[in-house]
């Protein structure tokens, strides 16, 4: 893949259409725009739905919760994501500019917000780069450094401290994610039961508080069209909060599979000139801290990934969505559980 084209929106999936006339009226009034509204959909991603809006000469992105999400959890808070982007604007130039938010469900059937469109390249699962190793490593390093930049923001000065409750963060995470899994469970998976029991007994103290993205991966960043090793924007702030920065770092690790990892997880591997220990060393250098309890954080990040996928599979299992991409997701849940349990049993983050 040469990665010289921008991320493209496509025809809207059946059952996920938006009422264009009422949406057009809303946008024209709130943003003082004119013209005929055209709506397309960005086809990737399994959580919040993302649409491309074209109104006059303006291109924007609309984000709304997935259909059926209200049946299993309280997440997908569009207002919160809008506020995060607003707070980040003066301090972090990788956050897209938010334009308008509404809780009025009469417009499209759910709360939503609209932000500026950032043109660029988004790498997707199974994308392979035909670059020389040096350029791929440069992208890897920029990707790690950008997360470190986010974690190095002053949460008091930016006002981001109001977006979370850092005290006892890790314990609440363990309790909350275990509950989410139980609420969305469809199959018996022994490794999920094993890791949940282990996490409860090995919760580390929350020490290193920062503003964290919580879903930092390559298909949530926009690369510069002219120089794709450079990051232009970070997307999908749905789960961002204030908490232990090492949990956020570990989420990035969970999205960094290696050749010996379970088959379904290897599909996440977009670029891989750095292994998980290389990534750990680079991150520690950039934040000036040693990552304590790295095995716990890595294993828990894999478990969280498994829970997120389980929640998506639950919607498919219950018939809330007919998206055929969801049919085999239960195997990915099992692979997340297997790798999490393997890390715990071995006490390592790679080389099992």
DSSP 204: P
Dihedral over Cα of 127, 129, 133, 136: its sign: negative
User: What pLDDT is stored for residue 15 in this prediction?
Assistant: 87
**C-alpha–C-alpha distance, residues 107 and 126, integer Å:** 36
Residue 143 and residue 204 in one domain:
yes
Residue 330 and residue 226 in one domain:
yes
> Which of 116, 147, 182 is a domain's end point?
116
Token duo for residue 166: 């850092």
352 domain residue, yes or no:
no
CATH number of the domain residue 282 falls in? 3.90.1200.10
User: What pLDDT is stored for residue 230 in this prediction?
Assistant: 97
> Which of 116, 149, 174 is a domain's end point?
116
7 domain residue, yes or no:
no
User: What pLDDT is stored for residue 23 in this prediction?
Assistant: 98
CATH number of the domain residue 30 falls in? 3.30.200.20
User: What pLDDT is stored for residue 70 in this prediction?
Assistant: 56
14 domain residue, yes or no:
no
8 domain residue, yes or no:
no
Asked whether 57 and 27 are in contact (CB, 8 A), the reply is: no
In the chain, how many domains are there? Answer: 2
122 domain residue, yes or no:
no
Residue 202 and residue 258 in one domain:
yes
Asked whether 206 and 248 are in contact (CB, 8 A), the reply is: no
Say whether 320 sits in a helix, a strand or coil.
coil
Q: What are phi and psi of 177, to 5 degrees?
A: -70, -35
Residue 215 and residue 320 in one domain:
yes
Residues in the chain with pLDDT values less than 50? 72
Residue 163 and residue 40 in one domain:
no
Residue 161 and residue 273 in one domain:
yes
Cβ-based neighbour number of residue 113 at 10 Å = 22
User: What pLDDT is stored for residue 251 in this prediction?
Assistant: 96
Cβ-based neighbour number of residue 302 at 10 Å = 28
242 domain residue, yes or no:
yes
**C-alpha–C-alpha distance, residues 78 and 71, integer Å:** 16
128 domain residue, yes or no:
no
User: H or E segment at 60?
Assistant: strand 58-64
Exposed / middle / buried, residue 191 (Cβ in 10 Å: 0-12, 13-18, 19+): buried
User: What pLDDT is stored for residue 347 in this prediction?
Assistant: 98
Give me the domain span that covers residue 96. Answer: 20-116
Residue 147 and residue 248 in one domain:
yes
User: What pLDDT is stored for residue 5 in this prediction?
Assistant: 63
Distance of CA 302 to the CA centre of its chain: 13
**C-alpha–C-alpha distance, residues 164 and 212, integer Å:** 10
> Which of 116, 146, 170 is a domain's end point?
116
88 domain residue, yes or no:
yes
Residue 83 and residue 222 in one domain:
no
Residue 92 and residue 221 in one domain:
no
Residue 78 and residue 179 in one domain:
no
pTM (2 d.p.): 0.89
Residue 72 and residue 200 in one domain:
no
Chain-wide mean pLDDT for the chain? Answer: 92
User: What pLDDT is stored for residue 2 in this prediction?
Assistant: 52
Residue 24 and residue 72 in one domain:
yes
């Amino acid at each position: 893949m040469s990665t010289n084209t921008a991320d493209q929106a496509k025809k809207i999936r059946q059952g996920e259409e938006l009422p264009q006339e009422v949406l057009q009226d809303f946008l024209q009034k709130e943003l003082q725009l004119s013209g005929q509204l055209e709506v397309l959909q960005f086809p990737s991603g399994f959580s919040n739905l993302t649409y491309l809006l074209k109104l006059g000469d303006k291109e924007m992105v609309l984000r709304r919760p997935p259909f059926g999400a209200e049946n299993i959890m309280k997440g997908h808070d569009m207002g919160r994501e809008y506020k995060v982007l607003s707070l980040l604007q003066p301090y972090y130039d990788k956050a897209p500019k938010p334009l308008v938010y509404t809780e009025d469900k009469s417009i499209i059937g759910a709360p939503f917000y609209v932000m500026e469109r950032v043109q660029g390249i988004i790498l997707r699962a199974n994308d392979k780069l035909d670059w020389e190793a040096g350029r791929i490593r440069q992208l890897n390093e920029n990707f790690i450094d950008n997360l470190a930049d986010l974690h190095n923001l002053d949460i008091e000065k930016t006002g981001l401290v109001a977006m979370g409750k850092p005290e006892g963060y890790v314990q609440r995470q363990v309790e909350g994610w275990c509950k989410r899994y139980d609420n969305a469970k469809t199959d018996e998976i022994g490794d999920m039961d094993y890791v949940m029991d282990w996490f409860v007994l090995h919760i580390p103290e929350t020490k290193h508080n920062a503003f964290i993205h919580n879903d930092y991966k390559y298909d949530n960043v926009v690369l510069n069209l002219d120089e794709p090793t450079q990051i232009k924007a970070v997307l999908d702030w749905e789960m961002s909060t204030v908490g232990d920065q090492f949990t956020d770092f570990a989420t990035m690790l969970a999205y960094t599979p290696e050749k010996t990892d379970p088959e379904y997880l290897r599909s996440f591997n977009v670029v891989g000139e750095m292994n998980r220990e290389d990534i750990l060393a680079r991150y520690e250098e950039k934040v000036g801290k040693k990552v304590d309890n790295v095995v716990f954080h890595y294993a828990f990040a894999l478990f969280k990934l498994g829970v997120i996928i389980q929640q998506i599979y639950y919607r498919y299992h219950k018939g809330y969505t007919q998206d055929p991409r969801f049919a085999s997701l239960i195997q990915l849940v099992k692979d997340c559980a297997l790798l999490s349990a393997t890390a715990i049993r071995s006490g390592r983050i790679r080389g099992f």
